[in-house]
Amino acid sequence: MCTRAQWTAEGQPVLVGRNMDWTERQGAKLWVLPKGIERSGLTDQNPLTWTSKYGSVGTIIWGGVSSDGINEAGLVSNVLYLAETTFKARDNDKQGLTIALWAQYFLDTCATVAEVVKACQNLDVRPVKLVHKGVAVDAPVHMSVSDPSGDSAIIEILDGETRIHHGPQYTTMTNSPPFEEQLVLLKQYEGLGGRLPIPGTMEAEDRFARAAFYLTKLPEQPETYQAAVAAVMSIMRNAATPLGANDPVRPNISATIWRTISDATNKRYYFEFADMPNVVWMDLDNFDLSENGQPMMFDLANNFEASGEISGLFQPTELFETTKADGVVTWQPGD
């Protein structure tokens, strides 16, 4: 499920593309969240509490799970599936945070990747129950973060421990196997250290190789800003899985259903559904992200004629209800 690629060519905006792959619709909606929102980590004991320092724009799925977004400082977060994610027993000495707010916590409180890495040290991130085809599992995900400097980090929870790869060289991310193993596999391909041709299957390690390889083929100096955005979009579409191509057993091998591009430099957020021809985008400067601002939402799935810059189409609304730690994601297609 999913592919992420970050492009940081000299003199160009820092652009982060991501595909969301899943077996069914997730009720994805676009949200504007101002600063000043008081939040809880939603664990039964010693929950993390905070007040959002930065406003953000992002994609909320399953009614209350933060999956992707960018804040007004230019920090970008992307949550992807990782089947090997495993959680240990709750450590009540650490402040607890539901994984449904994992991405949003960093968007609310951090301006740089370095701040995110530091903030990870004192957190106990707790799963929510994700029901997929009747089977409930502890939501197995990992996260990437990026910032306007081109810095990057990949954050995984393996054997209950947080493992972080931090540095601008970590531009690509998909799913299984864990990131350390992906880096080893990557070296076998032509142009990336080896001699094998670039693979073309839907497997996560093959999408990883394609995204990494084609990032090296983007023009050093695109003629226009539009060309730069289109270049990253072409990478994401190359790494996408066609509609209908779902593995019946592995949800990490599923069709691409939506994608985003986050412009960390210019604070712009692009979004498209794979089954709709229109791309929309939002400039964060067009929203009131101050403490006086209101949460706002836009549902592209029910406004399929929208295209281009859509900040004027968002409507004020009540804040979504986040799934608590160890709670069950109750959203169902059709809700």
- Rounded to whole angstroms, how far apart are CA atoms 295 and 209? 38
**Beta strands 123-126 and 29-33, pairing class:** unpaired
CA-based angle 40:285:32, to the nearest 5? 35
Burial string for 256-274 (b: 16+ CB within 10 Å, else e) reads bbbbbbbbbbbbbbbbbbb
Evaluate whether 86 touches 141 at the Cβ level (below 8 Å): no
3-state SS, 32-93, equals EECCCCEEECCCCCCECEEECCCCEEEEEECCCEEEEEEECCCCEEEEEECCCCCCCCCCCC
Which are the catalytic amino acids? Answer: 2
- Rounded to whole angstroms, how far apart are CA atoms 205 and 280? 29
3-state SS, 172-187, equals EECCCCCHHHHHHHHC
How long a stretch of residues is the chain?
Answer: 335
HSE at residue 165, side-chain half, CA atoms within 13 A, is 18
192 C-beta neighbours (distance < 10 Å), count:
15
Distance of CA 105 to the CA centre of its chain: 13
CA-based angle 173:26:60, to the nearest 5? 75
Query: Measured on CA atoms in the order 56, 58, 62, 63, is the torsion positive or negative?
Result: positive
